[in-house]
Chain A
Amino acid sequence: MNPIVRWFHKLGSPPYFDRFAARWAPWAYGLGLLVMLWGAYGALFVVPADYQQGDSFRILYIHVPSAWMSLFVFGLMAFYAAIALVWRIKLCEILAMACAPIGAGFTLITLATGSIWGKPMWGTWWDWDPRLTTELILLFLYLGVIGLYNAIDDRRAAARAAGLLAIVGVVLLPVIRYSVVWWNSLHQGQTIRLFGESSMDPSMVQPLIWMIVGTKLWFIGALLARARGDNLRRENGKAWVAALATGKETPAR
């Protein structure tokens, strides 16, 4: 067998995944934190203030990566869900459902920071800007997936149903986005460009890239940790969990 396929099959075994996640989640968390701190330092102290937006554009260094993550995580969730539905791989069900709360968190950050950025820029806490409106609907989609997952008793059926909803959501998301833009143009709104028209100075882009990489790494850590928790919940009662919990050596498999 192909070593990658073999590794993937091995990863699908709950005790192995638990060890894998327990081992690598702290690394991803730590690395993500370091990179984000470096990026935040650049965004807050190195980059000069924007001549139009003043210091408030520093908010964008967390707003933009979060917005990217909110969409990326939703896509990843639907991807895992599709694999789980087609090939019935339990690990993918767990990973898909672990995506939902993290993605909802990033969506919340996007909405909150967008609103905070908007107050000095637009003079109001909320504007029906197409981007923010799409994010708001995205948050509802995330909440729907989480709600459906928690409302069904059978864990596997719950994950599959919520996964199907995630796939429907990812199909509709471009339509929602397009409809909101159309609606905005109909009602004479205007879109404010986040960054100035002129091409940005490379020194301004650099912290943004660091933040994007940092949030991705942090997300990997969060995904592994959440999936580990869900995995333990489903496996609770099995011998390997008891051995792990009581500190005895896990029997090798």
Chain B
Amino acid sequence: MIAVLPGLPGAARALMLRDLRLLWRRRGDAFQPALFALLVVVLFALALGGEADTLARVAGAVLWLAVLLAGLLALDTLFRGDAEDGSLEQWMLAPVPLGWLVAVRTFMHWATTALPLLLATPFLAELMHLPRGQLPVLMASLALGTPLLSLLGAVVAALTVGMRRSGILVALLALPLYVPVLVFGAGSVAASAQGLDPIGALLLLGAGLVVALVLAPLAAAAAIRIALN
């Protein structure tokens, strides 16, 4: 029997095509994280009193938190659907490494949940009266930070994928791991607000992203193997 086996790009293409199709079938869902972040921002504004000065001072931190929490809520959909219908088993049986498929899936999940959020950020920043000068730093920190959050979250989502309901446990596991990302992400905005150089924090985020790109898919793949035992 002569086989046509997929290489790494072929399997990645198949998986990306599938995810894009699924997204298109449920295109309404793609806006939910952005909607959630909008709601968080609105609630913060209501709680803080809506004064432009007050809002501007905390805008960077609130926007980072809104994005982080929206990503946290979306985390459960990363592998759960594929675990429940048996797709993950087929991934494990495929002739490409599971870590590669996990990396591609995490990238697609980031592109479908965090990227719309990133595009909506200037709008949200306007709601929070973020000083214009801080917007580029905020966007850069989010662009580097949200993939990092997705990769760290992928490990946690993989660890909890075998449970029927993970609920609050995902938050308990993921949030402590998110601390450095939040600190450097929100910190870079705070630094630029104080007139300090934000580049250092951004570089650290970038370095973290490179390391996580290599290690997180491997850890998540190992976690999936454990969870589907």
Q: Is A96 an interface residue (CB 8 A)?
A: no
Nearest neighbor of B163 in chain A, beta-carbon distance: A151
Contact of B155 among A156, A168, A178, A179 (CB under 8 A): A168
**Closest CB in chain B relative to A228 CB, distance in Å:** 25
Are A154 and B229 in contact (CB-based, < 8 A)? yes
Residues in A neighbouring B155, C-beta threshold 8 A = 164, 168
Contact with B along A132-152 (1 / 0, CB 8 A): 000001001101100110011
Grouping DSSP codes into helix (H, G, I), strand (E, B) and loop, the B interface class, with mixed when no group exceeds half, is helix
| Cα–Cα distance between A171 and B229 once the two chains are bound (Å) | 25
CA distance A50 to B190 in the complex (A): 39
B190 CB, min distance to chain A CBs, angstroms:
6
* CB-based contact B226/A165 at 8 Å: no
Which of A85, A144, A169 has the most chain B CB within a 10 Å cutoff? A144
How far in angstroms is the closest Cβ of chain B from A177? 9
Binds B, one of A2-10, A39-47, A108-116, A180-188: A180-188
Q: Is A33 an interface residue (CB 8 A)?
A: no
User: Using Cβ atoms and an 8 Å threshold, which residues of chain B touch A175?
Assistant: 180, 208
In the bound complex, how far is the Cα of B196 from the Cα of A183, in angstroms? 13
A157 in the interface, Cβ–Cβ < 8 Å? yes
Query: Does B145 sit at the interface, judged by CB under 8 A?
Result: no
Interface pair A183/B183, CB less than 8 Å apart: yes
B176-A157 in contact (CB<8A): no
Query: Of residues B156, B190, B194, B226, which shows the largest number of chain A Cβ atoms within 10 Å of its Cβ?
Result: B226
Q: How many residues of B contact A (CB 8 A)?
A: 31
Interface centre among B156, B179, B201, B223 (most CB of A within 10 A): B179
Q: Is the CB of B227 within 8 A of A157?
A: yes
Contacts of A171 in B (CB 8 A): 215
User: With A161-B226, A175-B180 in contact, do A186 and B159 touch (Cβ < 8 Å)?
Assistant: no
Chain A at the B interface: SS class: helix
In the complex, what residues of B have CB within 8 A of residue A144's CB? Answer: 172-173, 176
**Closest residue on chain B to residue A177 by CB atoms:** B180
A63 interfacial contact with B, CB 8 Å: no
Contact A140 B176 (CB under 8 A): yes
User: Would you call A172 an interface residue if the criterion is a C-beta within 8 Å of the partner chain's C-beta atoms?
Assistant: yes
Enumerate B88-121 residues with CB–CB distance to A below 8 Å: none
- Residues in A28-67 with C-beta less than 8 Å from chain B: none
Q: Which residues of B contact A176 (CB under 8 A)?
A: 176, 179-180
CB of A183 within 8 A of CB of B187, answer: yes
Binding site for B on A (CB under 8 A): 85, 137, 140-141, 143-144, 147-148, 151-152, 154, 156-157, 160-161, 164-165, 167-169, 171-172, 175-176, 178-180, 182-183, 186-187
28 cross-chain CB contacts under 8 A: A85-B222, A137-B179, A140-B176, A143-B172, A147-B172, A147-B173, A148-B169, A151-B166, A151-B169, A157-B162, A160-B226, A160-B229, A161-B162, A161-B227, A164-B155, A164-B219, A164-B223, A165-B173, A167-B219, A168-B177, A175-B180, A178-B180, A179-B183, A179-B184, A182-B183, A183-B187, A186-B190, A186-B191
A-B interface, 6 closest residue pairs, ranked by CB to CB distance from nearest: A179-B180, A179-B183, A140-B176, A157-B229, A144-B173, A183-B183
Known contacts A147-B172, A164-B155, A164-B222; can you find 15 more A-B pairs with CB under 8 A?
Answer: A140-B175, A140-B176, A144-B172, A148-B169, A148-B173, A164-B219, A165-B173, A167-B219, A169-B177, A175-B180, A175-B208, A179-B183, A179-B184, A182-B183, A186-B196
